[in-house]
Amino acid sequence: MEISRRDFLKYAIASAATLGLSGTQFARIERIMAGATSPPILWLSGAACTGCSVSLLNAVNPTIDQVLLNTISLKYHSTLMAAAGDLAVTAARSTAQAGGHILVVEGAVTTASNGRYCYVWDENGQPVTIAEAVNSLAATASYIIAVGTCAAYGGIPAAYPYTSALGVGAFLRRPVVNLPGCPAHPDWIIGSLVQLLSGTIPALDSHGRPLVYYKPKVIHERCPRKEAEEAGHFGQDGLCLEELGCKGPDTHADCDLRLWNNRQNWCIGVNGLCIGCTEPNFPAFPLHATSEEEEEEEPVPTATPRPTATPTPTSTPQPVAPSYHVYLPYIRKGR
C-alpha cells in the first residue's frame, strides 16, 4: 500500500522495455514526479462497454494500484471514483477549468438526434451528452487519448449507423492519440500515458496509433503459425487460422509479441481468431470465413471506412483534419 514515488520509478524503469519506453523518457517522468501534484486525468465514458477500463485494471508492469496511488491523479472515472452526482461533475469541471489535464475517452461519441443516445451526467437539472462533455473537457486538455476502437474510430457502435457514432478525433476534428483494441491492451494505455506525461508525443501511424505498439508489419508476418498448415476447422493446435477468417494478415498490433493478461496467452494462442480489433474498420464482417470457395471469390476485407453520418457536434469546432481517418502530427496545445 505504502509505495513511494521513487519505488514506482524503479518499478517503471524496470518495465521500460515492456512499455516500449526509453530510460530518457523515465528520467523526464522522474522530474515531473518530483512535483507536488500528480498530473490530472479525466476519463470519460461514451458509447462504451467499460472493457478498456477493465483491461487497464489488468495492468501488470506497473500494476494499477501503483498507477493510481503514485503516478496519476484520476479526477474523473465514473466506474472507479468515490464521488457521485454533482460532487463527481464538479470534480470534472474544476479540473477542466484549471486545464492541463489529459482527457481520456472510452467509447464512441454518438452524434445523431443531438447526442441523445448517450448522456454522461446531469448538470443544473439538464442532461449533458457525451458530445457536449467531450467538446468542453477537450478545450483545455493538454492531450486527448482515445482508448479502444470505439473511441478511436467508432468501433461496434458505428456499425449500427442509426446513432451516428464517431471516434473522438473525427468528432472533434482534431488529432488525438488513438489506442484502438477491443479492448486496448493495458500496456498500450499506460505506456502512452507515461510517454505523454514525460512531455513527448509517441510517433503515430496514419491512423493515429503509436507505432511502438501498432506495428507497420501485420501480425501474420510474425505469426509463429505463418508457415503452418491451414486449419479446416477450430479445435486444432498449431495450425494457421487464415482460412477460418483470422484477420492477422490485416492487423497491426503487437499481440503476438506482448501477449495478454500478464503474458498468459493471446487469441491465436488458443487457436482462436484474430478478429482485427485494432483496425479502423473493426468490426469488418464477416468475422468467420464462410467457405473455401467464397473466400477465394471475396476480396480480403480492406480498411474501407464504413458509412457514417456527417458529424454534427453541438458547437462546431474548427475543422483541422480533412477527414477522420487522416491524422496530422500531434501538436501539444498550450495551457
Partner 1 sequence: MPTTITLDPATRLEGHLKVKVQSEAGQVVYAESSGMMFRGFENLLLGKDPRDAGHITQRICGVCPTNHAMASCLALEDAAGVTVPDNARIIRNLILGADFIHSHVLHFYHLALPSYIAGPPMPPWTPAYEVDLRLNAADNQRLIDHYVQALAIRRQAHEMGAILGGKLPHNVAYEFGGVTTVPHPDMITRFRHYLEAIIAFVDNVYMVDVDLLSQTYPDYYQIGRGYGHLLAFGVFDLNADGSSKLLARGRIVDGSASVQSVDLAAIVEQTGYSWYDSPAAGLNPSQGVTQPNPDKAAAYSWLKAPRYAGAPYEVGALARLWVNGDYRRGISVMDRHQARALETSKIAHAMHDWLSQINLAASSYTPYQVPATGSGIGLTEAPRGALGHWLRVSNGATAAYQVLTPTCWNFSPRDNAGTPGPVEQALLGTPLTDQAQPVELLRVVQSYDPCLSCAVH
Q: Kindly identify the residues of this chain, within the stretch 282-301, that bind partner 1 according to CB under 8 A.
A: 283, 285-288, 290
17, 34, 54, 320: residue in contact with partner 1 (rule CB under 8 A): 54
- Can you spell out the DSSP letters for 201-268? PPPB-TTS-BTTTS-SS-HHHH-TTTTSPBPSSSS-SS-B-GGGT--GGG----HHHH-BTTTTB-TG
DSSP structure class, residue 126: E
One character per residue 257-276, x = contact with partner 1 (rule: CB under 8 A): ---xxx-xxxxxxxxxx-x-
Of 167-175, 193-201, 209-217, 226-234, the window that binds partner 1 (rule: CB under 8 A) is 226-234
Count Cα atoms within 13 angstroms, Cβ side, for 8.
Answer: 23
* Interactions with partner 1, residue window 157-186 (CB under 8 A): 157, 159-160, 162-163, 165, 182-183
Choice between 75 and 215, CB closer to partner 1: 75
267 is catalytic: yes
Q: Which residue has the cell 439538464?
A: 126
309 binds partner 1 (CB under 8 A): no
Of 151-159, 206-214, 215-223, 321-329, the window that binds partner 1 (rule: CB under 8 A) is 151-159
229 binds partner 1 (CB under 8 A): no
11, 13, 18, 49: residue in contact with partner 1 (rule CB under 8 A): 49
Q: Which amino acid is at 149?
A: T
Distance of alpha carbon 157 from alpha carbon 17, whole angstroms: 34
Least gap, CB of 319 to partner 1 (angstroms): 27
17, 27, 34, 127: residue in contact with partner 1 (rule CB under 8 A): 127
Distance of alpha carbon 74 from alpha carbon 121, whole angstroms: 18
User: In this structure, what C-alpha cell is assigned to residue 287?
Assistant: 468475422
118 is catalytic: no
Of 22-30, 38-46, 207-215, 222-230, the window that binds partner 1 (rule: CB under 8 A) is 38-46
Q: What angle do CA 179, 182, 185 make, to 5 degrees?
A: 55
Distance of alpha carbon 162 from alpha carbon 324, whole angstroms: 19
How far are the Cα atoms of 221, 222, 239, 242 from residue 228, in angstroms, in the given order? 13, 12, 5, 10
Q: Which amino acid is at 114?
A: N
Q: Which residue in 185, 207, 240, 325 is the catalytic one? A: 240
Of 15-23, 167-175, 206-214, 279-287, the window that binds partner 1 (rule: CB under 8 A) is 279-287
Q: Which residue has the cell 480533412?
A: 322
Q: Which residue in 207, 220, 252, 325 is the catalytic one? A: 220
User: In this structure, what C-alpha cell is assigned to residue 330?
Assistant: 500531434
Least gap, CB of 24 to partner 1 (angstroms): 28
Q: Which residue has the cell 489488468?
A: 58
98 binds partner 1 (CB under 8 A): no
Q: Which residue in 182, 207, 288, 325 is the catalytic one? A: 182
Q: Which residue has the cell 501485420?
A: 218
Of 7-15, 194-202, 277-285, 294-302, the window that binds partner 1 (rule: CB under 8 A) is 277-285
196 binds partner 1 (CB under 8 A): no
Q: Which residues are catalytic?
A: 49, 52, 150, 182, 220, 223, 240, 246, 255, 267, 274, 277
